[in-house]
Chain A
Amino acid sequence: MSGNIAILGYGLSAIGPGIGIGLIFAAYINGVARQPEARGMLQTIAILGFALAEALAIFGLVLAFVFK
């Protein structure tokens, strides 16, 4: 079996954001279910949080290719 260990690093770096994004959207769904009229406001906040949490996974991806 051949491959690159850097890709494993990407896998590790994707765990945290994966959990984080799951929590963010769980909270968003909860919020909308409780108060449907707050959807517009919550959506912006949820997507902002999603973008910030995702950054770590993207770092991992880019670094996996950089240190190849």
Chain B
Amino acid sequence: MSPTALATPFLAAASGDGGGYHAPEPQEFYQPLIGHGDWALTRPIVVMAISVGLIAWFLLATTKRASVVPSRGQWVTEALHTFVRNSLARDIIGSKEFLRFVPALFTLFSILLVNNLFGIIPPIQFPTMGRIGFPIALTLVVYVVYHTVGIRKKGFRNYIGGMIPKGLPGPIYILIVPLELLTQFITQPLTLSLRLFGNMFAGHMLLLLFITGGQYMVIHGSIGLKFAGAGSFVMAFVLMIFEGLIELLQAYIFTLLAATYIAAALADEH
């Protein structure tokens, strides 16, 4: 599969041939490459496979011959790993138990970082996390991990009991217990996946709107609209830089929240 095969569906969807301009829609994120229906090989899964291969190759290549005086690649890997290990895992989970979660957090962070950045790197330019299935899968991993470590450490009864604040007047508990359980079991994973999905999806829609809109105005518009189209391209360029920032931030936030949830599950009675 050539890189252009990955890049073409957008252009096909975007060329406003006949019948005016079509604004980008959520359907544009569904791009089957081979086959169709439920078992189609879609573009995000190909991007995800590429990212996994890329990360595996990079990490192996830079750590196989690790030396005391690091090469440039080894320095990058070490800096990223140190960042996740120290400022995410250790600061949030605490120095006693953080070490066993570092591999999981580093995996999450690197997968998200590469996949998110693929959203603006040509010729791929597709945010994998703009398809809700991918954030849900990652969230499922985090969900299972933090509930499992919580139950394993405190036992089921104490774990559920620890979620509910102590020392409130009796009747308040009728309100608090369902709310707290709802937060822990439904709202937290829901927001975790929707936050990532929403940011990637909305950011990409915005870029799509400015680029396809600019293209349409430049090609089909009158002279005034052609200038507006040029302005739209400038906006798309600025937003692409902004989008890069958002993508870095979202990879960080997802890992940060995963660490926070694990820390909350491990925390002693509050």
Chains A and B belong together in one complex:
yes
Within 8 A of A (CB), among B43-66: none
User: Which of chain A's residues have a CB closer than 8 A to the CB of B260?
Assistant: 48
User: Which of chain B's residues have a CB closer than 8 A to the CB of A54?
Assistant: 195
Within 8 A of B (CB), among A1-53: 40-41, 44, 47-48, 50-52
Q: How far is the CA of A50 from the CA of B252 in the complex (A)?
A: 12
Q: How far is the CA of A43 from the CA of B87 in the complex (A)?
A: 11
User: Which of chain B's residues have a CB closer than 8 A to the CB of A50?
Assistant: 253
Q: From known contacts A40-B87, A65-B26, infer whether A47 and B249 are also in contact, taking CB-CB under 8 Å.
A: yes
Cβ contact within 8 Å between A47 and B252: yes
| Min C-beta distance of A1 to chain B, whole Å | 14
Q: From known contacts A61-B202, A65-B26, infer whether A48 and B191 are also in contact, taking CB-CB under 8 Å.
A: no
Using an 8 Å CB-CB cutoff, how does the interface string of A50-63 with B read, 1 for contact, 0 for none?
A: 11101100110110
Using an 8 Å CB-CB cutoff, how does the interface string of B226-270 with A read, 1 for contact, 0 for none?
A: 000000000000000000000001001100110010000000000
Cβ contact within 8 Å between A55 and B195: yes
| Min C-beta distance of B100 to chain A, whole Å | 21
User: Which of chain A's residues have a CB closer than 8 A to the CB of B195?
Assistant: 51, 54-55, 58
Choice from B26, B87, B257 contacting A48 with Cβ under 8 Å: B257
Q: From known contacts A51-B256, A51-B257, infer whether A44 and B194 are also in contact, taking CB-CB under 8 Å.
A: no
User: Which of chain A's residues have a CB closer than 8 A to the CB of B198?
Assistant: 58, 61-62
User: Which of chain B's residues have a CB closer than 8 A to the CB of A58?
Assistant: 191, 194-195, 198-199
Choice from B92, B197, B199, B201 contacting A44 with Cβ under 8 Å: B92
| Min C-beta distance of A35 to chain B, whole Å | 18
| Min C-beta distance of B186 to chain A, whole Å | 13
Cβ contact within 8 Å between A47 and B197: no
| Min C-beta distance of A33 to chain B, whole Å | 22
Q: How far is the CA of A28 from the CA of B48 in the complex (A)?
A: 36
Q: How far is the CA of A65 from the CA of B201 in the complex (A)?
A: 11
Cβ contact within 8 Å between A48 and B194: no
Cβ contact within 8 Å between B26 and A47: no
Cβ contact within 8 Å between B194 and A62: yes
Does B28 interact with chain A (Cβ within 8 Å)?
no
Does B17 interact with chain A (Cβ within 8 Å)?
no
The interface of chain A, by Cβ under 8 A from chain B, is 40-41, 44, 47-48, 50-52, 54-55, 58-59, 61-62, 65
* 27 A–B pairs (Cβ distance < 8 Å), ordered by A: A40-B87, A41-B91, A44-B87, A44-B91, A44-B92, A44-B256, A47-B249, A47-B256, A48-B256, A48-B257, A50-B253, A51-B195, A51-B253, A51-B257, A52-B191, A54-B195, A55-B191, A55-B194, A58-B194, A58-B195, A58-B198, A58-B199, A59-B191, A61-B198, A61-B202, A62-B198, A65-B26
Q: Please provide the 7 A-B residue pairs with the shortest distance between their CB atoms, ordered closest to farther.
A: A58-B198, A55-B191, A51-B253, A61-B198, A58-B195, A58-B194, A65-B26
